[in-house]
Amino acid sequence: MNEQRDYRARGVLGGDGRVLDGGCVRVAGGRVVEVLARPSGVAEDLGDVLITPTFFNAHCHLELTAFEGRLPRDQGFGAWVRELMRLRDEAPPAELEQAARRGARRLWDTGCALVHDVDTTGAAARALLDVPIEAVVHREAIDAGDATRRAARLEELDRPLPLRAGLTEGISPHAPFTCSLELLRELGALARRRRLPLTMHWAETEEEVRYLRDGSGPLAELLPPSPRRSGLDLIEAAGLLAPDLRLSLVHGNHPAPGDYERLAAAGVPLVHCPGTHAFFGRRAFDARAVLDAGVRLLLGTDSAASNDRLDMAAELRRFLEIDEVTFQEGWRAATGGVVLEGSRRLAVWSVAGTVRDLEDLVASGRSPATFALPDGPAHASDGPSRYPVGS
C-alpha cells in the first residue's frame, strides 16, 4: 500500500475554483488523492508557492520550433506558408527533432503537462520519447486531391508509432481544403478501427473559406477544383462529426452562421490560439459567440514559428484580453477544466509580493513550473528543492 504524504502551501486551488489560503494536497501512489482546506499536523510546508492544475496545450506544432523568428508576420498567411514549406523541406531531420524536444521542454518548464501536437515529419514523435511531458501525437495527413499521395499516407498511418507511458497517438487531417473528401472518409475509418482521436484545422483564413465556397481567391491556383461546399459541410459529409469519433477543430476564425451551434450539437471542441492570432494581426476572435453556442473552448499555442513564445500562461493572459470572457472561462480553456484531485502533475507558482489570488498571479506575467508527483513517499529529487516532485 502506498504511503500518503501531505504538503501545504501558501495557496492551493480547490475544486470550486477558490484559492485555499494555507491549503494542502494529499498525495499517494503518485497522485493527488485529496485537496484539504486545512493541513494536517504532519504536512510538510512548501512555503510561498501556489499549487494549481497544470496547463493543457490543445494545439501545437513542436517541430516548427526550428523556425522561431524566421518567418514573416506582416506579408500575409500565404507568404508565411510558402516560406515555412521551403524551410521545412531544407531542414535536416535531426534539426527538427531537436527543435521539437526544445519546444516540449519549454512547455513543461512553464506549467504545461499535456500537449496535443500535430506532427508532419515524424520529428515530434521521436523527440517526445524522452521528454517528461504527456502528449498526443497527431500525425498529419494531406493529399490535395492526389490519390497516390493519399494511399501512401494512409498506409503509413496504419502502422502504430513507438510509444512510451504518457505518449499516445492521434491523426490530423490537415484541413478541409487540403484533404479530399475521400481522404477524410478514410481517416475517419482508420480512427475508428484504431480508436484514435482526430484534430483538424478549420476556417482559419478567409482565403480557404472563399476557395471552398466558390473556387475564388489565391488558393484556386494551387489546388484542385473547389468542392463548392463549406469546410464544416465536408467534415460532416465525411462522417467526422459522429459521436463515436473524438474530433477537435482548431481556429474556426471564419465560421458560417450556425456553425458553432453545429459543433456544440456534435460535442466537438474548438481550439483557439491567441498568440498566433495576434502574430498574424487577425480580427478579434469572438470567444463569446463560441461559448454562448455551448462549444467547449480550449487554448493552444500553435507553433513557435507563428507565436512569440510557447507558454500557456501567456496564452491565457492574451485570451483574457477579450472583453466578455471571464477569468473562470479562460482558466477552464487553458487547463481543459481539470482539477487537482486525481492528477499526477502539479503546476507550482512562486508567490511573491502582494499577489492576492490566482487571477492576480496570472495577470502578473509569471508562469508556473510543472512537476510530476513521485510514486513513493520520498521526494523524487535529492536536490535542495523542498517540492515533493521532480522534473
How would you list the strands of the sheet with 11-13, edge to edge? 19-21, 11-13, 49-52, 345-350, 369-372
Residues 43 and 129 in one domain: no
pTM comes to 0.94
Burial class (CB in 10 A: 0-12, 13-18, 19+), 31: middle
Distance CA 53, CA 343 (A): 8
Distance CA 215, CA 220 (A): 6
Distance CA 303, CA 132 (A): 19
Q: End-to-end CA distance of the chain, in Å? A: 24
pLDDT tens-digit map of 283-321: 999 999 999 999 999 999 999 999 999 999 999 999 999
pLDDT at 47: 87
pLDDT tens-digit map of 67-109: 999 888 877 788 888 898 899 999 999 999 999 999 999 999 9
Element (H, E) at 201: strand 198-202
State the total domains in the chain: 2
Q: How confident is the model at residue 385 (pLDDT cuts 50, 70, 90)?
A: very low
Residues 218 and 124 in one domain: yes
Residues 120 and 229 in one domain: yes
In a domain, 382, yes or no: no
78 against 127, higher pLDDT: 127
pLDDT at 353: 67
Residues 305 and 206 in one domain: yes
Residues 155 and 215 in one domain: yes
Q: Flag the least confident range among 92-96, 244-248, 386-390.
A: 386-390
Burial class (CB in 10 A: 0-12, 13-18, 19+), 223: middle
Q: Which domain holds residue 137?
A: 55-335
Distance CA 54, CA 344 (A): 10
Residue type, 305: A
pLDDT at 79: 83
Half-sphere exposure of 97 (CA within 13 A, CB side): 11
Q: What percent of the chain has pLDDT over 70?
A: 94
CB atoms within 10 A of CB 377: 13
Q: What percent of the chain has pLDDT over 90?
A: 78
Q: How confident is the model at residue 355 (pLDDT cuts 50, 70, 90)?
A: low
Residues 245 and 350 in one domain: no
CATH number, domain of 145, equals 3.20.20.140
In a domain, 327, yes or no: yes
How would you list the strands of the sheet with 198-202, edge to edge? 55-60, 112-119, 134-141, 167-173, 198-202, 247-251, 270-272, 297-299
Residues 182 and 235 in one domain: yes
pLDDT tens-digit map of 155-164: 999 999 999 9
Residue type, 81: V
Distance CA 358, CA 294 (A): 25
